[in-house]
Amino acid sequence: MAKEDYYKTLGIDKSSSQDDIKRAYRKMAMKYHPDRNADSPEAEKKFKEVNEANDVLFDEEKRAAYDRYGHAAFEQGGAAGQGSGFGGAGFSDIFEDMFGDFMGGGSRGGRQGSGRGSDLRYNMEVSLSEAFSGNKTNIRVPTSVSCGDCKGIGTRNGVPPDTCPSCNGHGKVRAQQGFFTIERACGTCQGAGKIIKDPCGKCEGTGRVHQDKVLSVSIPAGVEDGTRIRLSGEGEAGLNSSPSGDLYIFITVSSHHIFKRDVANIYCAVPIPLTTAALGGHIEVPTVDGGRAKITIPIGTQSGHQFRLKGKGMSVLRSKERGDMFVQASVETPVNLTKKQKALLKEFESEGGGEQNNPETDGFFTKVKELWKDLKD
């Protein structure tokens, strides 16, 4: 006798989503469960058919094979199994089921059984001043939390779930495929080891509901781009009172309009009037901690000269030390000169001075003349 179409068995169509399959399976499994139909061989048979249909359709790879080849995909020598020698399961399925737990596999097979909530990621941007001094702020995270009505167990009125009869509460079943014994998630309980006959009306038996969570986060002083903060147990709630996942906060430090950061050091380019650079003087510069620092400008300071302010840089993460601040002089050429100013500059130029006043200029053009001479020779 030909097998019934798996989609028809669950009362769904081929366009159904994974959530649709899950809901349909729960409904049919509760309807034909042996505990509810103790004296009905027909119900027992139907219950097995429902489990078989769910085992195939809930697995994306198996579902794709079934959609293409039908029941032949899982029969020895069928289209999906040709060349593998293991019926419908290829080598990738076999080795993933055997070694997946040791190799960091995904959510297929028995690895669903733990029910642990997913880890969540939250991207946070902080200013340079917040990265320097640290900060405490609140964040709102969309996540899943433990259901308040059933206290996370998934059942109505606090009734404990029943032990799954198919796997005896282990959440996994074994099957022989050729020379291999394959251990995979139990299709009856989806790897949970428990069966909920009367699910909670609020969470539909999952033990968790979608809800935004407001958390207080302390940003330590000295954080850098890519710093990761882990909040244990603040991720997605687990299924049916299983452990919650963790929340990972990834820090991005926004750029500053004055300061540039290199790990713990701060760099700042400061314009200096031509007269101050030539005659010397003092200037004040801002510091990353919101204060000011006074710098003495020596006579004859050139553009590009750096002044080091020790201990005026960024905070160092998990340390009381600070980096240094480097101030780079940028000598500004005056513009919009008056007639008198132009005359004074021309007078200065006519006084000459040569290498004594402009050593870099004279040295450069001396080298240029030597270069031209070498080219002629």
354 SS3 class? helix
Q: Is the pLDDT of residue 235 over 70?
A: yes
314 SS3 class? coil
Pairing of strands 180-185, 265-273: unpaired
Intervals of CATH 2.60.260.20 along the chain: 119-161+196-254, 260-376
DSSP assignment, residue 157?
A: G
With contact defined as beta carbons under 8 Å apart, do 254 and 128 qualify?
Answer: yes
Look-up of token digits 């000598």: 331
What integer pLDDT is reported at residue 269 of this predicted model? 94
Residue type, 376: K
Q: Is the alpha carbon torsion for 5, 7, 12, 13 positive or negative?
A: negative
Structure tokens at 232: 């244990």
Q: Which helix (DSSP H) or strand (DSSP E) does residue 269 occupy?
A: strand 265-273
What span, in angstroms and rounded, lies between the C-alpha atoms of 315 and 140? Answer: 27
What span, in angstroms and rounded, lies between the C-alpha atoms of 244 and 225? Answer: 27
- pLDDT per residue as tens digits for the range 167-183: 888 888 887 665 567 77
265-289: average pLDDT: 93
* Residue 59: how many other CB atoms lie within 10 Å: 19
Give the CATH number of domain 119-161+196-254.
Answer: 2.60.260.20
With a CB cutoff of 8 Å and minimum separation 6, the contacts of 228 are 248, 249, 250, 251
Dihedral angle, C-alpha 240, 246, 247, 248, nearest 10 °: -150
What integer pLDDT is reported at residue 110 of this predicted model? 35
Give the CATH number of domain 260-376.
Answer: 2.60.260.20
With a CB cutoff of 8 Å and minimum separation 6, the contacts of 311 are 322, 323, 324
Q: Would you list the DSSP string of 57-118?
A: HTSHHHHHHHHHHGGGGGSTT-GGGTTTSSTT--HHHHHHHHHGGGTT--SSGGGGTT-PPP
Q: Is the alpha carbon torsion for 102, 106, 111, 117 positive or negative?
A: positive
DSSP assignment, residue 289?
A: T
- pLDDT per residue as tens digits for the range 282-300: 999 999 999 999 999 999 9
Mean pLDDT of the chain: 81
pTM (predicted TM-score) = 0.56
What integer pLDDT is reported at residue 242 of this predicted model? 83
With contact defined as beta carbons under 8 Å apart, do 171 and 161 qualify?
Answer: no
Q: How confident is the model at residue 34 (pLDDT cuts 50, 70, 90)?
A: confident
31-42: average pLDDT: 80
With a CB cutoff of 8 Å and minimum separation 6, the contacts of 232 are 246
- pLDDT per residue as tens digits for the range 81-92: 333 333 333 333
What integer pLDDT is reported at residue 311 of this predicted model? 94
For residue 2, report the phi and psi dihedrals to the nearest 5 degrees. -70, 145
136-164: average pLDDT: 88
| Nearest Cα residue to 210 out of 147, 296, 269 | 147
What span, in angstroms and rounded, lies between the C-alpha atoms of 27 and 8? Answer: 14
What integer pLDDT is reported at residue 349 of this predicted model? 79
Q: Which helix (DSSP H) or strand (DSSP E) does residue 7 occupy?
A: helix 6-10
What integer pLDDT is reported at residue 96 of this predicted model? 36
- pLDDT per residue as tens digits for the range 98-113: 333 333 333 333 333 4
